[in-house]
């Protein structure tokens, strides 16, 4: 079988021309042998299928099977040409679809005639993570080849665990797309495509080709924030098993210096369960967390369960009325959480509805206990009392996905969620004396609106019920919108809008919020101003420059953010106005397969509240407006942030 990218067949990536040049003489010889069977050969050339027949020589069956594999390889090569050649074409194609208000649907819906056929084979093909650019210099190609050799390809057995189908199953096109989406959503995998072909030797069977391109495993990370630089080293695919590990070190103030490490093991408990361990050791305090989670990984998943365990030691800044200045009080606590959820397809009740519309029931338990802190001061506000929450959520969730490009990445296929969510949560806090009830409601909506772009919104309301009134409550709304891709004077643009409103209801004095990122103004990191209610709005425009240089693609971003922060919602618009304006560059390389590099500058008028302005290099929070995936796999509690 001629296969240019299948590294399990060859020790080094095959050249595109090499596989074809070896196949031509072999195919020619087989064609000569097939001349006595002219009618059969005509069927092969015309692409007709041949039923099982013992009278057909095996070498003719092999010829037709080889022709099928060559076509699949050529097809994949055609849709994945050199990035330098395709980048502007991708922009033009996406622009045309945006002008027409169309959603770029998955090609699997073009194979409806194959629905229900038996899957004869599932072939996994690894594409080199750094590509193979025949248009570049020999030194550049040497770098690519060396990087590809160092990289460990995702192992076939691990890729099969992500798939929702296997050999012998009946073909389900919906599961084929969801498998493709799950592969693309994995941290170790850059892109994935699934191709389906009818088996020429058995018309009632199909062959599935799964093409996977990994991220290069070893990725260094740098955050050049002047006050708090951070260095990290990630391995996104340990030995090809799709596991991740990260080692990081943060500089800056003494309280923040230290290591931040994490390890994630995927595809446990059979499939789609993830075990994560995080460990942070700043000079002041420490943090450990271990979790095992299996969520509703696709819209028709029936069960979700998980558990979290966290140990934290830190210092809490306390303003004393008896002593001048701020006291740093050591706080230690343990938090434990466990939940189980079940999802039921609505079409089992009403056949006219669709399988991705689900009724969800979720039950969870959360416990948080503080240790060794009560003797430092009198906790009159009960900020550090023990919590034992038993919660139950009931809701309706409908979600599906469409594919798009040039939203958060340069030309990569992106799966965008759209749907509807309504959930009611109730429970009891057994850690308080007397016991308190808890209630919350969550609503969410997202949809692609044709030529009007994409919109996502949400409303959350909840809190404790004490003596008939809501206490420690929160009311939140959010809105996210981004346009379709549009062109202006030879460049391509996409505009983003994100805003939100948060109001604390009868909150304790010490529990307050700020306008800091990510739930506030872009790059805003003012830890001196706090309040109980806030209103903010962010605008961002990204310009994609169609030309490439050695695979490097450039984007220019400009952004504006503004917000209000107050102690009471009635005084919100009369409080201090905070804003930011900035610009920057986005740099991406399709050959080197590195994360998008962002270089930006922000100007903050009177950002510190005393009339002084400031400039900031690489402020956090820009270029990451990602709408929420509208589903829940555990009881929903609105966060106050």
pLDDT tier at 587, thresholds 50, 70, 90: confident
Q: Is the pLDDT assigned to residue 551 strictly greater than 90?
A: no
Q: Is the pLDDT assigned to residue 279 strictly greater than 50?
A: yes
pLDDT tens for each residue of 95-104: 777 766 655 4
Quick one: pLDDT at residue 165?
95
Q: To which residue do tokens 């302005």 refer?
A: 613
Q: Alpha carbon 25 to chain centroid distance?
A: 46
Kindly provide the residue ranges of all beta strands, DSSP E only, lying in 215-325, ordered along the sequence. 218-223, 230-235, 244-250, 258-268, 273-282, 286-294, 303-319
Given a contact cutoff of 8 angstroms between Cβ atoms, the answer to whether 536 and 516 are in contact is: no
Helix, strand, or coil (residue 564) = strand
* 493 or 518, which is more confident: 493
**Single pTM value for the model:** 0.78
| Phi, psi dihedrals of residue 462, rounded to the nearest 5° | 180, 170
pLDDT tier at 380, thresholds 50, 70, 90: low
Neighbours of 254 (CB within 10 A): 9
Q: Which stretches of 165-312 are DSSP H helices?
A: 173-184
Quick one: pLDDT at residue 64?
43
Quick one: pLDDT at residue 141?
73
Least confident of 175-179, 194-198, 218-222, 372-376: 372-376
Measure the CA–CA gap between 276 and 262, rounded to whole angstroms.
7
Helix axes 16-33, 58-79, angle to 10 degrees: 150
- Alpha-carbon Rg for the chain, nearest whole angstrom, is 28
pLDDT tier at 92, thresholds 50, 70, 90: confident
Averaged pLDDT, 36-44: 37
CATH class name, domain 16-79+115-214: alpha beta
Given a contact cutoff of 8 angstroms between Cβ atoms, the answer to whether 210 and 124 are in contact is: yes
Given a contact cutoff of 8 angstroms between Cβ atoms, the answer to whether 457 and 446 are in contact is: yes
* 189 or 251, which is more confident: 189
* 232 or 377, which is more confident: 232
Least confident of 214-228, 232-246, 508-522: 214-228
Q: Alpha carbon 134 to chain centroid distance?
A: 32
pLDDT tier at 39, thresholds 50, 70, 90: very low
Quick one: pLDDT at residue 327?
60
pLDDT tens for each residue of 386-414: 889 999 999 999 998 988 888 877 778 88
* 351 or 393, which is more confident: 393
Quick one: pLDDT at residue 392?
97
Quick one: pLDDT at residue 543?
93
Quick one: pLDDT at residue 37?
41
Helix, strand, coil in percent for the chain, rounding step 5 = 20, 45, 35
Quick one: pLDDT at residue 234?
85
* 633 or 283, which is more confident: 633
Measure the CA–CA gap between 174 and 180, rounded to whole angstroms.
10
pLDDT tier at 556, thresholds 50, 70, 90: very high
Structure tokens at 579: 């804003």
According to CATH, the topology of domain 295-617 is: Porin (2.40.160)
Domain ranges of the chain: 16-79+115-214, 295-617
Measure the CA–CA gap between 601 and 225, rounded to whole angstroms.
11
């Amino acid at each position: 079988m001629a296969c240019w990218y299948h590294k399990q067949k060859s020790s080094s990536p095959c050249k595109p021309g090499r596989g074809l040049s070896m196949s031509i003489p072999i195919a020619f010889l087989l064609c000569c042998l097939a001349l006595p069977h002219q009618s059969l050969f005509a069927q092969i050339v015309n692409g007709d299928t041949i039923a099982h027949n013992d009278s057909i020589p095996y070498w003719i069956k092999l010829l037709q099977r080889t022709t099928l594999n060559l076509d699949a390889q050529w097809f994949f090569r055609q849709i994945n040409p050199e990035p330098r050649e395709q980048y502007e074409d991708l922009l033009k194609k996406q622009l045309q679809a945006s002008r027409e208000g169309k959603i770029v649907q998955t090609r699997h819906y073009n194979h409806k005639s194959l629905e229900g056929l038996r899957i004869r084979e599932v072939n996994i093909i690894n594409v080199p993570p750094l590509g193979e650019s025949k248009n570049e210099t020999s030194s550049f190609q040497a770098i690519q080849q060396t990087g590809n050799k160092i990289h460990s390809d995702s192992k076939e057995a691990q890729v099969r665990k992500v798939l929702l189908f296997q050999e012998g199953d009946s073909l389900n096109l919906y599961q084929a797309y969801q498998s493709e989406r799950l592969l693309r959503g994995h941290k170790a995998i850059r892109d994935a495509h699934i191709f389906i072909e009818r088996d020429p030797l058995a018309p009632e069977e199909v062959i599935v080709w799964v093409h996977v391109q990994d991220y290069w495993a070893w990725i260094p990370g740098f955050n050049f924030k002047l006050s708090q630089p951070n260095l990290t080293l990630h391995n996104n695919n340990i030995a090809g098993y799709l596991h991740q590990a990260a080692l990081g070190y943060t500089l800056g103030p003494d309280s923040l210096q230290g290591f931040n490490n994490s390890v994630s093991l995927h595809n446990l408990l059979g499939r789609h369960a993830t075990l994560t361990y995080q460990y942070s050791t700043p000079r002041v305090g420490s943090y450990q967390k271990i979790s095992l989670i299996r969520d509703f990984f696709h819209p028709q998943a029936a069960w979700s369960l998980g558990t979290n365990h966290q140990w934290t030691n830190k210092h809490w800044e306390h303003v004393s009325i008896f002593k001048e200045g701020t006291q740093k009080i050591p706080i230690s606590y343990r938090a434990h959480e466990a939940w189980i959820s079940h999802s039921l397809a609505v079409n089992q009740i009403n056949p006219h509805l669709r399988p991705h519309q689900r009724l969800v029931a979720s039950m969870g338990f959360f416990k948080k206990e503080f240790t060794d802190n009560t003797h430092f001061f009198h906790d009159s506000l009960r900020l550090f009392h023990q919590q034992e929450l038993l919660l139950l959520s009931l809701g309706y969730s409908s979600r599906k996905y469409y594919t798009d490009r040039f939203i958060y990445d340069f030309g990569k296929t992106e799966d965008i969620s759209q749907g509807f969510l309504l959930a009611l949560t109730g429970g009891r806090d057994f850690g308080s004396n007397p016991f308190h009830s808890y209630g919350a409601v969550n609503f969410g909506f997202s949809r692609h609106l044709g030529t009007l772009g994409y919109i996502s919104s949400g409303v959350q309301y909840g809190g404790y019920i004490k003596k008939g009134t809501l206490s420690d409550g929160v009311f939140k709304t959010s809105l996210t919108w981004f346009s379709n891709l549009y062109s202006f004077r030879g460049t391509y643009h996409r505009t983003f809008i994100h805003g939100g409103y948060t109001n604390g209801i009868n909150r304790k004095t010490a529990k307050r919020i700020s306008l800091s990122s990510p739930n506030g103004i872009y790059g805003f990191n003012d830890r001196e101003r706090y309040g109980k209610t806030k209103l903010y709005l962010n605008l961002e425009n990204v310009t994609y420059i169609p030309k490439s240089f050695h695979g490097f693609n450039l984007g220019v971003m400009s952004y504006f953010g503004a917000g209000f922060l107050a102690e009471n919602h009635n005084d919100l618009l009369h409080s201090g106005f905070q804003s930011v304006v900035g610009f920057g560059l986005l740099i991406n390389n399709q050959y080197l397969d590195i994360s998008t590099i962002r270089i930006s500058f922000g100007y903050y008028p009177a950002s510190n509240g005393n009339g002084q302005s400031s400039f900031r290099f690489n402020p956090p929070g820009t270029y990451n407006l990602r709408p929420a995936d509208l589903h829940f796999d555990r009881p929903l509690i609105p966060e106050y942030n």
